[in-house]
Amino acid sequence: MGRAVGMMTTALGAYMTFKMWAEFQDALGEAFGGAWAVIIATVTFLIYQSNKNDKSYESSIGGISSAPNLTKQAMEAENPLPLAFIAGTYLLIIVIFELLLGLV
């Protein structure tokens, strides 16, 4: 069940990222024109991704700092994930986000 929640979280993150970048590019297009919007959005994305990769690399150098006695399976057995609640919450987030974008 943990894999399903991970997949839903990944899908929600990708959806929100694509929608935000589209809105960002539309706003830039209105201010600077279409061609400049693509250039500015691409450069901004590359800088963001580079900084994100640097932080990820720096945190991975520190080593593994988790408790050795607790495994993922043991934690999931003790606390089962409410899959329907999580899916409903993610769907609600998408609906609210679409409604807000529709009002703007």
**Tally of domains in the chain:** 1
pLDDT at 92: 92
Q: Could you tell me how far CA 64 lies from the centroid of its own chain?
A: 23
CB 28 within 8 A of CB 37: yes
pLDDT at 6: 85
Give 10-residue mean pLDDT values along the chain (104 residues): 83 88 84 82 84 80 58 67 85 88 71
Residue 16 belongs to domain spanning:
2-63+72-103
CB 20 within 8 A of CB 98: no
Angle of helix 83-103 relative to helix 2-32, nearest 10 degrees, comes to 10
Q: Please give the structure tokens belonging to residue 46.
A: 């590359």
